[in-house]
Amino acid sequence: MSESTSMSLRGAKTVVDEEEGAALLPASASGDTTAAAPDKGRDGDSTAKPPAGQLAPAAVNEIVLWLFLLFVASVTMTVGNKYVMREWGAANILTLLQNGAAVLYLATGRALGFVEMKAFTAQQWRVFAVSAVLLSIQILTSLMALPLVAIATVVTFRNMCTVVIAVIDYCFFGTKFSVRMVLALVLTTFGMVLYSIQDVNFNYMGYLWLTGNSVATVLNTFWNKVYITKYTRELKIQTSYGVSFIQQVETLPIVFCLALVNDERQKLPEMLALPGMSKLVLLATCGGGILIGMAYPKCYSLLSGTSVVVASTANKAVSILLGMYLFGTVLSPVQVGGLLVCVGGSLWYAVEGKRK
């Protein structure tokens, strides 16, 4: 599910989330996370402001709330999708439901005025059709891989995408990296190799699906890096929400046709016959995709980019542990070491990148 579906923040600007690939996230233009309207006393006077450097209790509560919602959404999408795919396995229909929920949310938000979009043009639909195809591939390959491999394997592949993207950035776009960032990338690669050489849960088809997912992720990252930046930041002819709406809408006919080709219509009765818990998890993944699109930009508006990266990494760690518990996944000591090195290297790179 695309993480770019989110609530409107007035005066928003776009931020590329390097850790997640290229999710388009609106962030507060001012970046001020501590400003708050003073409380009024009974006599109408403002109460004393908190000391400099301290957040008001209400601001702290808001930060905790949105970090918790981000945690819930992130874990729900990762663990929930694996659970549903193990129980049901209709990847195209599942994508249709999840992306359809996102489209409904964005359309409703635009109609009610809390999601800002500018006028759509035929050129915008043509440009982001490419992104929609790549996004569909990303989603479907991820869903197909989840039942076959451990969640930890998915995380390591995503971290390796960061390395590949950085190498392409350096070779073809002239991006410069600090020594620490290069060391972090080397550490991430070493961790990935260490994890994969002793993957006790190795599945050929699972690795094949994740390879396709990685290729689509890298391609989509650079396509969006060029065109989303052009349309939302340079030309300013569309908002990030408008771009997300176009992408999500254009994925629907793609996955619908794929569902017909794969004859997934036969799985509709199976969906209705799913146990109550499976139906609940399926519904939660539809809501989780919308919630994660709301939580990410809100967290970026309340916290520094580094803090959000750390929180996102912690969410991945919890997803891995929860997946091990729910699905009985066993990792060898070498795998655990490789995973820690890979995730640690990716986190180090992201933190250094935000600092740079």
Query: Is residue 3 situated within a structural domain?
Result: no
- Computed over every residue of the chain, the mean pLDDT equals 84
Of 2-11, 36-45, 74-83, 146-155, least confident by mean pLDDT is 2-11
- What's the average model confidence in pLDDT over 118-144? 94
pLDDT value of residue 50: 58
Place of tokens 């996370």: 33
Query: Is residue 197 situated within a structural domain?
Result: yes
Of 9-13, 34-38, 108-112, 199-203, least confident by mean pLDDT is 9-13
The more confident residue out of 165 and 49 is: 165
Q: How many domains does the chain have?
A: 1
Contacts 24+ apart (CB under 8 A), 256-260: 256/92, 256/96, 258/92, 258/136, 258/140, 259/90, 259/92, 259/93, 259/96
Whole-angstrom distance, CA of residue 32 vs CA of residue 303: 9
Query: Is residue 42 situated within a structural domain?
Result: no
Confidence check: pLDDT of 277 > 90: yes
Whole-angstrom distance, CA of residue 308 vs CA of residue 306: 5
Domain of residue 211: give its range.
13-31+58-355
Query: Is residue 36 situated within a structural domain?
Result: no
- In angstroms, the Cα distances linking 144 to 152, 248, 296, 324 are 15, 19, 25, 19
pLDDT value of residue 9: 28
Is the distance from CB of 66 to CB of 28 less than 8 angstroms? no
Is the distance from CB of 342 to CB of 188 less than 8 angstroms? yes
The more confident residue out of 51 and 340 is: 340
Place of tokens 């340079």: 234
The predicted model scores a pTM of 0.82
Q: pLDDT per residue over 314-341, tens digit each?
A: 999 999 999 999 999 999 999 999 999 9
- What's the average model confidence in pLDDT over 88-109? 94
pLDDT value of residue 53: 55
Confidence check: pLDDT of 45 > 70: no
pLDDT value of residue 7: 31
Query: Is residue 39 situated within a structural domain?
Result: no
Query: Is residue 49 situated within a structural domain?
Result: no
Three-state DSSP at 103 gives helix
Query: Is residue 84 situated within a structural domain?
Result: yes
pLDDT value of residue 51: 58
Confidence check: pLDDT of 32 > 50: no
pLDDT interval class at 356 (50, 70, 90): low
Confidence check: pLDDT of 20 > 60: no
Query: Is residue 210 situated within a structural domain?
Result: yes
Q: pLDDT per residue over 140-175, tens digit each?
A: 999 999 999 999 999 999 999 999 999 999 999 888
Place of tokens 């699905």: 327
Q: pLDDT per residue over 213-267, tens digit each?
A: 999 999 999 998 888 878 888 888 988 889 889 999 999 999 999 999 999 999 9
- In angstroms, the Cα distances linking 61 to 68, 204, 338 are 11, 46, 36
Q: Which parts of the chain fold into alpha helices (H)?
A: 57-87, 91-112, 122-145, 151-173, 179-197, 204-229, 240-261, 268-272, 276-302, 305-327, 333-355
